[in-house]
Amino acid sequence: MTYSLVIFDLDGTLADSFPWFTRHVNAAAEKFGFRRVENFEALRHADFRETFDRLEVPRWKWPAIARHMRQVKTLHLHEIALFAGVEPMLRALSGAGVRLALVSSDSEANARRQLGALADLFSQFDCGASVFGKARKFRRVTRLAGVAPDAVLSIGDEIRDIEAARDAGIACGAVCWGYAAPEVLRTREPDFIFTRIDDIVEALLKSA
């Protein structure tokens, strides 16, 4: 299958933000009164709902916590680098005529700062997604791009990215270097599993 539009997630997919998360999440736990994270590896084997249940976070607090973490991240963007290999991967896709979009729970301003000059390769940004709001954004990006859903692939690092893509009627790829553990992602049977960043170019351009 040839994909003319690829929608990327940011954190855990293009940007190595999990170490930043481990350094700052327990300060949020103190602020919002949920359980401290003692075993980060265990969280990588749970989906988002299970994680919040384990930490005893009431669902009504989710939006406030997400806003707080975005604000904290803005202050610490210098701690978060793009994964090695992201730049040549994005340039290869764009150079081959694949349109790129970014859908993220973070702000567009933060995304553009993290991507730097690579932001110019993206035709669309749809940011500020709620915890489970990506499906709506996937549909909007697809519609605005004027692309049929079966020509769109989303690439992310979490179970909720896979779920959102399926809800939006587009294909999904999961990366093994982000938040969720690879074995957990495989149980959800995404259309692609990428174990290396180079796999993205090899898979997508080979099929073009």
Q: What does the CA dihedral 54, 59, 60, 65 come to, rounded to 10 degrees?
A: 60
Q: Number of C-alpha atoms within 13 angstroms, CB side, residue 27?
A: 10
Two tokens, residue 179: 């938040």
176-188: per-residue pLDDT in tens? Answer: 999 999 999 999 9
What's the whole-number mean pLDDT along residues 116-126? 97
Answer yes or no: do 105 and 38 share one domain.
no
Domain match, 165 and 155 both: yes
Q: For residues 46 and 155, give the distance between their C-alpha atoms in angstroms, rounded to a whole number.
A: 19
Domain of residue 22 covers: 18-79
Count of residues in the chain: 208
Per-residue pLDDT tens for 46-91?
Answer: 777 787 788 888 888 888 888 898 899 999 899 899 999 999 999 9
Residue 112 pLDDT class (50, 70, 90 cuts): very high
List residues bridging with 38 in a β-sheet.
none
In terms of domains, do 73 and 103 share one?
no
Domain count, the chain: 2
Nearest-angstrom CA–CA distance, 171 and 109: 27
CB within 8 A of 134, min separation 6: which ones? 103, 105, 160, 161, 164, 168
CATH label of the domain that carries residue 11: 3.40.50.1000
Residues 65 and 86 in one domain: no
Q: Which of 130, 197, 202 is nearest to 160 (CA)?
A: 130
Residue 15's DSSP bridge partners are 11, 82
Q: Are residues 50 and 95 in the same domain?
A: no
Q: How confident is the model at residue 44 (pLDDT cuts 50, 70, 90)?
A: confident
Rounded CA separation 156/153 (Å): 10
In terms of domains, do 184 and 88 share one?
yes
What tokens does 194 get?
């990428």
- Global pTM value: 0.92
